[in-house]
A and B are shown apart, each in its own frame.
Chain A
Amino acid sequence: MTACHDVTDSPVALAGIRRVALIGSPNAGKTSVFNHLTGLRAKTGNYPGVTVGRSVGTTTVDGVAIAVEDLPGTYSLDPISPDEQVVTDLLAGKYSDIDRPDALVLVADATTLRRSIMLVGQVLRLDLPCLLALTMCDELTSRGGRIDVEALSKALGIPVVPVVGHRGTGIDSLRAQLTSFERWQRPPILPPAGQQAVGAWGQSVLDAADYVAPQPDRRTHRIDRVLLHPLWGTVAFFAVMFYFFQILFTAAAPLRDGIGNALTWLGGQVAGHVGNPVVRGLLSQGLIGGVGTVLQFLPQIVLLFLLLAFLENVGYMSRAAFLMDRVMAKTGLEGRAFVAMLSSYACAIPGIMATRTLPSSRDRIATIVTAPLATCSARLPVYTLLVGMLVAPRTHWWGLSAQGITMFLLYLAGGASSLIAALLIKSTILRGDLLPFTMELPPYRMPSPQALLAAMWSAAKVFLRKAGTIILATSLVLWALLNLPVREAQTRGLSATDATAYVMNHSYAADLGRAVEPVFAPLGFDWRTDVALVGSLSAREVFVSTLGQVSAATNPANPREALAALTDEHGHRVFTAPTVIALMAYFVFALQCMSTIAVMRRETNSWRWPAFAFSYMFALAWVMAFAARSVAIGLGA
C-alpha cells in the first residue's frame, strides 16, 4: 500500500486486537462519541486510494485495548458518494489490509430516529454483533418527544445505550459493553430487505418503542428568523465574517509578538554563549529562526481552528453555507466550499482541511487546488514589503491611501482568481457530479468546551506535524545554503557586515540563485530575489526575512531602505517599479508554500493534485508577473 504512513502504521500497531466500528448518519453525534471513547489519541489519515479521511483510536476497558474506528458518516449502505462506498466496502471486508470490524456500534440521533431507523435496519442485516448508541435523548424529551429505550432494545433485538455526546453521559456504560460483544443480544430475525419493507419494519419498531417525534426546535426558529432574514441575515453574515478576521488578526498578534520577542532574546543568549561561529549561526538563525516561524504561525492557526470549530458546532457554518450557496453555485461548487475558501484567507492549510465537510469528492478536489489562491495571511508581510517599496506612504488616490488601495487590489486579485480557477476546473477536468446538493441545518446547540478543544487539537496536530517539520527543515537548509561554505580566510580583516555580505555573495544559495536566474530573468528578478523566492517555499513570509538577510548586511537598522537602494553588480537598482509589480503578481498566484503542498498530499491521498496545483499556479504566476511587468514598462513606470 502506498497510502499515507499515518494509516499504514495504525493497522500494524493495532493488529490482533479487537475492532469495533462506529457507524451512523452525518450529524448523529458519532464524532463526539468517538472522541469520548478514544480521548485525543486518534490516528487520522486516508482510506487507501480515496480522498476519504479515516480515524482510528483505541479505548481501554479493564486493561483490554479495543480499536475503535470512526467510519465516515453515511445515510445508507447503498453507496452514492465515495465516503459511503468506503463504509460499504469496509463492512464487506473488501480492503485487503483493513480487517472487517468484529462488532458495530450504531450511532443514531434520537430526535431524527424516523429517518435513521432505515440505516439501522440495513446495518442489522449485516449480521454482525451490533449495539445502538442513542444520542440527543435529552433534547428529544425537552422538545416534547419520547422514547422507551428498553422497548426499543427489545423490538430491535440488540442492546441500546442512551448517551449524551457532548456531556459524555452514558459513555462509561457504552465502553463497559465493548468487551463483551460476543454476548450482545442478536436479533432473532433479521429486518427485511428493500426500501419499503425496511420502512414498514422501522415504523413497527418505533411504534413498539412508543416513539413520539420531537416538536421543531422553537429557539432555532427564532434565531433563524433573524440570521436567515433577507436583510438582517445578510448584515449578520458580514458582521460574523468581519469579526472572524478581526479576532484572528488582533487577538493572535500580541501572542505572536510575545513569541517573537522571546525567540529574539533566546537567539541573543545563544549568540553570546556559543563560540563556534558556524554552530552559533546554525542555532540562532537556522534553528531558532525556523522554530520561530512555526511558532509565530501557531497562535493564529490554533485560533482559526477554534473559531471554525465554534461556528461549525454551534450550527452557524451550515447557515453561512446556505446563504452563500447561490454565489458558490456560479463556480460549480456549493455553499460548504465557501467555508473552506473563507478559512483560506487566513491560511490555506485549515481551508484544505475544512473541505472534508464536502460530500462530493470532485468539489473537494476543486476546492483544495484553488484554495491556495486566496490571499492567506503569510502573503501579508510580503505584500506589506512590496507595497512599501512601490507606493510612497502618504500618497493618496481619490482621497484614499494609495497603499491601502494597492493592498485591496492584491486581495481582490487573490479572491477573484480562486473563484475563476474553481469555475474553470469544475467545468473541465472535474466536470459532472452524481450527488445532488443537500445539506442539513442542525438546531443551534451550545458546543461543549471539550468538543471545541478536541476539534482544535486534532487540527493543530496536523499543522504542527506536517507544516511544522517542513518549515523547520527548510529554514535549516536555507540557513546552510546562505552561510556555507565558510569563507574564514577571505573575510579575515573585513568588518562584520562586509564579511556577512561576502559569505552570502559566495554561498551555495548564490550558486542556486544564479542557476535558476534564467527562469526568472524575464520577470526582472536577480539572483538575490531568486534565493528569497526559493526560501519562501517554506513559508511565504520567509521571503521578507531572506531578503532581509541578503541585504541587511548593508543596513541592519532599516532593511527596507537598504532593499530599495540595493544594486546589482553593474550598479543598476534591483527593485525597480516594474520588478516590484512583477513580484506582487507572482506572489498573488504562486503556490509558494511547501506546507500547503504536504497537506494537499495528505488530504487527496496522492501526489497528483499537489503537483497539478503547483504547476498551474506557477505557470499562472509566471505569465501574470511577465504581463504585469510588460504593462508597467509600457506605461513608463
Chain B
Amino acid sequence: MCTQPKGARDQTGSVIVLAQLAPGRRATIVGTIPQANPNVTNRLGQLGFRAHARVDVIRRAPLGDPTIYRVQDTELCLRRREARLIEVVPEADL
C-alpha cells in the first residue's frame, strides 16, 4: 500500500489507507485491511470508523502524530499505526 507510486496516491476513486490522506481532505471509508487485529478494528468501528462513513482529516499534531479526524459528528485522534488499518476512497477536491 505504501509502496504505490506517488501519482497513484490520494487520487479520487482509488483505495488508499487513511494515514495517506492529507489534512483538509475528505474520504469515504470502505473497510479495513485484512491483516488488522479484529479487536482493534472493532473498536475503530465503534468509534465511527466503519464502512460507508465519511471521514475528514482535520489536522496533524505539531510533532507529526497523531492526527485529528472528524467522523460521525465527532472529532477524535488516531495514531498513524491505526490510521494505516482503515481503507478509504478519497473524494474529489471541493
* A-to-B contact residues, CB < 8 Å: 75-76, 78, 80, 111-115, 118, 195, 199, 213-214, 216, 220, 224, 228-231, 233-234, 322-323, 325-327, 329, 335, 434-442
Contact = CB atoms under 8 A, between A and B. Distances in A.
A112 B72 CA distance: 7
B81 interface: yes
A435 B16 CA distance: 24
Given A439-B76, A441-B77, A434 B40 contact: yes
Which of B44, B48, B50, B73 has the largest number of chain A CB atoms within 10 A?
Answer: B73
B57 to A, nearest CB: 13
8 contacts: A76-B42, A118-B46, A228-B68, A234-B62, A322-B61, A335-B66, A436-B43, A436-B44
A439 B77 contact: yes
Contacts of A114: 48, 72-73
Given A434-B40, A441-B76, 17 more contacts: A75-B47, A80-B39, A112-B72, A114-B73, A118-B46, A228-B59, A323-B62, A323-B63, A325-B77, A325-B79, A326-B66, A435-B43, A436-B81, A437-B78, A438-B43, A439-B77, A440-B75
B87 to A, nearest CB: 16
A441 B75 contact: yes
A327 B39 CA distance: 25
B69 to A, nearest CB: 10
B78 A76 contact: no
Contacts of A76: 42, 46
Given A434-B39, A434-B40, A439-B77, A230 B62 contact: yes
A76 B42 CA distance: 10
A325 B77 CA distance: 10
Interface string B64-89: 11101010111111110110000000
Interface residues of B, number: 31
A224 B70 CA distance: 14
B81 A78 contact: no
Nearest to A435: B43
Nearest to A232: B62
Contacts of B72: 112, 114-115
Contacts of A326: 61, 63-66
A23 B82 CA distance: 27
B73 A436 contact: no
A80 B42 contact: yes
A195 B61 contact: no
Contacts of A111: 73
A323 B45 CA distance: 24
Contacts of B78: 436-438
A438 B65 CA distance: 12
B78 to A, nearest CB: 6
A142 to B, nearest CB: 14
A233 B58 CA distance: 15
A112 B73 contact: yes
A436 B82 contact: yes
A327 to B, nearest CB: 7
Contact of B76 (A229, A335, A440): A440
Given A234-B62, A438-B82, A440-B76, A80 B43 contact: yes
A325 B66 contact: yes
A228 B59 CA distance: 8
B76 A438 contact: yes
Contact of B79 (A228, A329, A434): A329
